[in-house]
Amino acid sequence: MLSPDKLKKVIAIATKTAEFCGVELLKADYVKHGSRNILDIIISKPEGISTDDCEKFSKGIAKKLDELDIIKEPYYLEVSSPGTNDYDGYPELG
């Protein structure tokens, strides 16, 4: 697991990466699911997040984290956006 100091560094890097990518960092957490270590990051922007936004952010933060070597153990990077609360399902066919 990451120490609180290392997590603060990761959050600072994620915040700068988000600013560079034109998105907002909503959450950055390092968790363990079973045997997997996961860096879970949620980003957003008013007009919604595209897969290109997630890709750009993922590549940017992965490169910086690799350069700084803050996280020593193997981990998975998961970048996503919050879901929408106004989703009504698929339109009726017919």
Give the chain as a DSSP string.
---HHHHHHHHHHHHHHHHHHT-EEEEEEEEEETTEEEEEEEEE-TT---HHHHHHHHHHHHHHHHHHT---S--EEEEE-PPPTT---SPPP-
CATH number of 4-80: 3.30.300.70
- What is the reported pTM? 0.83
Per-domain residue ranges for the chain? 4-80
pLDDT digits (tens, 9 = 90+) for 24-65: 999 999 999 999 999 999 999 999 999 999 999 999 999 999
